[in-house]
Amino acid sequence: MVEMIPTRPENRVLRELANADRGVFAKLVKLLEPVALQSGMQLGTPRAVTDSSYFIESGVVSLVATTRNGGSVEVALIGREGVAGIADALGDQPLPYGMVVQLPGLAYRVPKAVIREHILSCSSLHELLMDYSQRMMHQLAQSALCNRFHTSEQRLARWLLLTAERADTNRFELTHEFVSQMVGAPRPVVSASASALRDKGMIDYRRGVLTIRNAGKLRRAACECVDEISRSANGVGDAPSAARHPASAARNKVR
């Protein structure tokens, strides 16, 4: 049975909301539905409109762009720092990517109509979601740069580090086929890159289980995109809501 929503959730957006505005948090919690995330589970399909957003409590969700010929590449990662499906809540246009669960965990699902209501009312949740959306756009732009200019070995190292950061584990059950889709490189290329990292003592890969052995060396083998995306993602909630949005602080004071 899926657990009830805690008063201090692991999801950073919800946790910051609880700190900034207990009233809005209490109202939102009543509308959240806990959902068990299973590996490979589709939360949204490419070129389709979804009806829900997901506050990720644990596990990792990938935004995966696909071509009409079946090619695919991951364009963003979402862990407990964020919300899957936030772009869908901002409009009714279909998005070019799908949302697939990469590592199992837990999410809190909410109808996108609820998100829109908070956006229109300019609540504290609206401010946090706008901050998060900006950081997501940063990640999308950095991923485009990385996929164009960096080697498959650098991209694999980046992907492993960012996944480990969100999942709080250095051990994953993954196949080369799945990793090739995430990194956007043919399977033989990904296998060669993984072998190179393994030979250098950075990772181990046996029977579908990949383990990061030396995160420091792996970070040095990765591109600068690791630090860029990590800094952006971890910036959610850096400053109190009132400091980021003086107008909101004044509004809350009047209340």
**Structure tokens belonging to residue 108:** 């809190």
Query: DSSP E strands: which ranges in 120-244?
Result: 171-173, 203-206, 209-212
Query: DSSP E strands: which ranges in 48-160?
Result: 52-66, 72-78, 83-84, 97-111
Q: What angle do CA 107, 110, 164 make, to 5 degrees?
A: 25
* 122 close to 191: Cβ distance less than 8 angstroms: no
Residue with tokens 């695919």: 72
- Asked if domains 1-150+225-240+247-255 and 151-222 share a fold, the reply is no
* 57 close to 105: Cβ distance less than 8 angstroms: yes
Q: What is the pLDDT along the chain (255 residues), one digit of tens a residue?
A: 345 667 789 999 999 999 999 999 999 999 999 999 999 999 999 888 888 999 999 999 999 998 888 888 899 999 999 999 988 887 778 888 999 999 999 999 999 999 888 888 878 898 899 899 999 999 999 999 999 999 999 999 999 999 999 988 999 888 888 888 888 888 899 999 999 999 999 999 888 899 999 999 999 999 999 999 998 887 644 444 433 444 444 344 433
**Structure tokens belonging to residue 175:** 């196949």
103 pairs with which residues across the strands?
60
Residue with tokens 């070129």: 47
Q: What angle do CA 44, 49, 50 make, to 5 degrees?
A: 50
CATH number of 151-222: 1.10.10.10
CATH number of 1-150+225-240+247-255: 2.60.120.10
CA distance 161 to 170: 9
Domain ranges of the chain: 1-150+225-240+247-255, 151-222
CA distance 56 to 37: 9
